[in-house]
Structure formats: C-alpha cells, structure tokens
Amino acid sequence: MNTLALQHWEELTWEEIQARISSGNDAAILPIGATEQHGPQLTVGMDSLLGRHLCSSVAKITGVPSLPLLPYGCSLGHSHRWPGTLALSPHTLVSVVTDIADWLYPAGIKKLFIVNSHVTNEAPLRCALEILRAKHDDLCIALFNTGKLTPEIAQDFSADAADWHANAAETSIVLHLDPSATRPGKLASSDDPDRTQGKVFSHPVNRTSLIGVTGTPSKASPDAGKELYQKLQSALVELIRTGLQESPPLDHSYFEQSVQ
C-alpha cells in the first residue's frame, strides 16, 4: 500500500504516522465544522460537509494529512427556535482544540492548520491558538476561516447578506458538493432578508430571521457552487503551501527573557 497516497489521519497506522513525521511531514490540517440549523432547504451538517470536502481535497493536493473533522462548533446564536442545532460552549471548543493539539505536539506535529467552516467558531478558535502558542514554543498554528480566505471569497459569501447564513453561497456549495443535502422544493420559499443592518447589538438568529436563513438561497445554483468551491480550494492550497515553507521571523524562545 502506498501510504503517501493516504491523506486522512484515521487511515494511517501509528508506524505510518511516525514515518511521515520523521521524514519531515510534520504538519496537519484540522477541519472544524458545526451541526446547526441551515433553514428549510439545507441539512444541519452543511458546515461540516464543506469542511470535510475542502480539507480532504486540499490534503490530497498538498500532501498534508487531514485530521478527523470536528462536527460540533460554537452555534449558540442559533437558539432553540429550530431543532437540529447541537452546539458547544466557547470554553468547550477551546478545550477540545487545545487537547487535540496537546496530543499532536508530542507526536512531532510542528505546524497545525485549523480550517474553520462555521463563522462563530472563529473567536474560540483564536483563543485556542493563543493558548497553544504560549504553551508549545515551536508549534506554529494558522487559523483559516473559509468565508474569508480571500477578499473575493468574502465578497462572494456576503453578496446577498452581510450577516449571511444558509444563503445563496452556502446553498450553491451544497448543490455542487452533495445535492442530496438540499431540499430543492424549498429553495424558492427560503429567502429571508438581512435584518442586522444598522444594528448596534449582536442579536441571536431567533431575533433576526423568520426561518433560520439570512440571504437569498433561491438564487443558488450548482455552477455557482462549483466556481466558489474551486476558489476556496485554490486559496487554501496556496495558504498551506506558503505555510509549509514559512519559518518564524526571529528565533527567540517564548520562555527566555531578553538579556541586555
């Protein structure tokens, strides 16, 4: 078996993982998704679907193995109005990610690319990054949020709503990746406007949406999803390849004080 062709962590034995790391492949991709309501037209696994497909394809291109996807995220803002959401508290998400990295580091992983496909995971994941880089001196961590990988991608996601959710962009991606995770008969009636414009406070979704959608999924198409997914894949490949070649600008230990 050509183990170099296997790009999912769970497909490898411990000896194969050890051999990879010993040969210099000391990086890993950690996809973080969510399980949350995505309106009447998308299944609750949308964010995880994107993260799983994207990290799997990027792993094959870059040779950096993808860790098992975490399918739960910080989705507290979606409230209990619509069943289906399974949310972690910010503290729990921070703890889970730092625990995972605490096991990766002794195994020899020195570069961790966290790929987040759910918007409100960003703050807890940034906290996890802060904790880990202060704990492990030579562990480099990058946090990539799929909806903001490039300015063009950010514009594509927010084209129909600034506070987008289950909108044309997300629905298009699912129509491209896995049409069975959509409900075509619901697309025409699933539009809901962005009600957050001009608001001072950050309101939960139960106070901003009637059906759990913000945007116009009726405008979604498989072709638009294919184009956007290709942009996501190309951008993430470039970022990871750049990261693989990157070294810290200065070689100063986190734990040693400057000597004057």
CA distance 183 to 171: 10
pLDDT level of residue 259 (50, 70, 90 thresholds): confident
pLDDT level of residue 111 (50, 70, 90 thresholds): very high
Whose tokens are 């075509």? That residue is 184
Decide if pLDDT at 260 tops 90. Answer: no
Tokens coding 100: 């995972």
Q: 1 or 73: whose pLDDT is higher? A: 73
- At 62 the three-state DSSP class reads helix
Per-residue pLDDT, 172: 98
pLDDT level of residue 258 (50, 70, 90 thresholds): confident
Of 26, 52, 25, 47, the closest CA to residue 35 belongs to 47
